[in-house]
Amino acid sequence: MNLPPVVVIGSDHAGFEYKEAIKQYLAKNNIETIDVGTHSTESCDYPDYAHAAAREIENGNSEYGILICGSANGVAITANKHQKIRAALCWQNEIASLARQHNDANIICLPARFVTIDEAEEMVHTFLSTDFEGGRHQKRVEKI
């Protein structure tokens, strides 16, 4: 799989530092980002940014997204309320790979309080460069 040209990214205050680092990482790989916020470490509400990122994918402005909060649970739960969004909470590289291969996930959700920035960047790379296997997994995804 080739890396996508555009990725939407969002975070709450707990994920802000990670969001900024991942944006730089993506820029080095010639990937444009649609940053839906937040834009500081000031306390904020994660659903605002998860909904905004999911809408960018729903509207066809990006095929993939990255969401970051403290545990990644909140952004994953919120994004998954949207039709055709499959947001996967990932805390290890193998999980990021399987989320794409088996679940055709289109948003990776990263827990800033539980992974390093280097680990987060590795997972993002794996997520964005891994293809969906289809086959036996396709019918399961269709049941979602």
- Tell me, what's the pLDDT at 2? 86
Q: Is 44 a catalytic residue?
A: no
Could you say which of 13, 82, 102, 125 is catalytic? Answer: 102
Q: Is 69 a catalytic residue?
A: yes
pLDDT string in tens for the chain (144-residue length): 689 999 999 999 999 999 999 999 999 999 999 999 999 999 999 999 999 999 999 999 999 999 999 999 999 999 999 999 999 999 999 999 999 999 999 999 999 999 999 999 999 999 999 999 999 999 999 999
Could you say which of 13, 39, 44, 69 is catalytic? Answer: 69
Q: Could you tell me if residue 1 is inside a domain?
A: no
Model-level pTM?
Answer: 0.97
Domain, as residue range, for 66: 6-143
Place of tokens 């730089």: 24
Domain count, the chain: 1
Q: Could you tell me if residue 55 is inside a domain?
A: yes
